[in-house]
Amino acid sequence: MKSGSYLALLGVLGTMVACGNDVRHLDDEGGEAGYQESLRTTRTIHPILAEPIVVAGPEHQLDQPAALAVTSTSVFWTESTRVRSCPLPTGCAGEPALLLEKHERLHHIAATEDSIYFTGCHSFVCDDRHHVLRCPVSGCSLGPIRMDSTSDAFDHFILGKTHAYWIYGDRLVGCAFPECGRRREQWPSRVFGGEPQAVTTDGDTVYVQLFRNDLRTCVEADGCSEPNILPNTSSVRWPFRVHAGVAYWLDAGPHGPGSRPELRKCGLEDCGAGATVAFDDGSSEVEVDPTGVYWLNSNDGTVRHCPLGGCPQSGPVVLASRRVRARALTLGNGFVYWIEGNTIVKLAKPSD
C-alpha cells in the first residue's frame, strides 16, 4: 500500500467507533440527527481501564453493605447490623472503626463533617418501629439520638446545607442540624398538592417530586411549609439530581417508536421533556457534581461519565466495566465510590 493511501486509511479509522458488532463512520453529514443516532448505538472503546481501588474489602468482613456516605476525611457505610467507617484518602489500612452495632435493617446513611445520620431498627422484624438516628462521626458510644420513629420504612434520606430531610408515608420531614433529635417539622401531602415521591437537594434548594406532577421547591434553610411549583417539570423522574439549575434523571421511556432508556437533562427554568445526554439500558443510579454527571448500570456492571457540557461525540466515557453487584454510587473529593458485593471501591474522577 502506498504511504498516501495508508495515511488516508488511518484518517478514516480515526473517525470510526464500535457499535456493538458493527463499525460505523461518524462524520458531520448527519448533523444533529446523525449525532443522536450515534448516541443510540455507540459505545466508546476503552482497551485499558483503571482498576478500582479497594477501600474496604473481604479482609474487613463486610456484611452486606447497603449505602455509603463520604466526607472530606472519612467514608461511612451501613451493613446489615452495624455502621462502620475508614479514614480517607488511605482507606481501611487497618480494621474499620465500629460506630454502631446490634441494630437491624440499617440502610440509608448521610454525613456531615461532625455527624452521621442513618435509618434502621433495633430488631430484625422492626417491631420496635423504624428509626432515623444520629451519632457523632466518632461513634455512638453514648447511644444514637433518635430523630424520628414510625411504623413505615423511611425513603429518600438527604442532607442539605442546614437540614436533614426524609420521606415516610405521605409526608416530607425535616430538621435543622443543631436541633435534630429535639425538634422536627412535617409537611403532609396537602402542603404540596400531592404525595411526595422523592426528594433531593443541590444544597440551597430542596426539590420534591410528586407523581406525574411538576416539581415543588423549597428554600433549604427554611423548610417546606410554603413550597413553590416549578412549572413545566413533570417530565423529571426518579432517580434525579440537580446541579447549577440543571436536573439530570434516568428515564425508562417510552418516548415513541424505537425509543430506549436514557439519561436526560434540562434547565429547570424551562424544562419541558428535557434533552438526551446518553442512551443507556439498565442504569439505576445517577450523581452529579462540578466534575460532571456519573451513572451506574448494575445490569452490565459499568460506571459512565460525561462532562456537564455534554458527552463527547464518541459517547459517554466508561470509567469502569464488568463490575459485579455494583450499587450505591457516591461522589467524594477527587473520587467516585461504590459498593461491589461485600467490597467498597473507589476510582479517580476524570481529569479536565
The sheet that has 74-78: what strands, in order across it? 67-70, 74-78, 83-87, 97-100
Give the range among 45-49, 102-106, 129-133, 171-175 with minimum mean pLDDT.
Answer: 45-49
For CATH 2.120.10.30, the residue range(s) in the chain are 236-352
Q: Residue 190's CB: how many other CB atoms inside 10 A? A: 10
Q: Residue 162's CB: how many other CB atoms inside 10 A? A: 16
Residue 254, preceding peptide bond in cis (omega within 30° of 0): yes
The upper half-sphere exposure of residue 67, i.e. CA atoms within 13 Å in the direction of its Cβ, equals: 19
End-to-end CA distance of the chain: 39
Which CATH number is 236-352's, of 3.40.50.300, 2.120.10.30, 2.60.40.10, 3.90.420.10? 2.120.10.30
Comparing 39 with 25, which gets the higher pLDDT? 39
Q: Are strands 343-348 and 22-25 parallel, antiparallel or unpaired?
A: unpaired
Tell me if the pTM is above 0.75: yes
Q: Name beta bridge partners: 207.
A: 200, 217
> What pLDDT sits at residue 263?
93
75-79 average pLDDT score:
97
- pLDDT of 193 strictly over 50: yes
DSSP state, 96? P
Question: 52, 36, 48, 41: which is closest to 18 by C-alpha?
Answer: 41
Residue position matching grid coordinates 425508562: 252
Confidence of residue 254 (pLDDT cuts 50, 70, 90): low
Distance CA(92)–CA(113), nearest Å, equals: 19
Q: Across the chain, what does the average pLDDT equal?
A: 84
Question: 211, 273, 259, 256: which is closest to 238 by C-alpha?
Answer: 211
DSSP state, 225? S
> What pLDDT sits at residue 26?
30
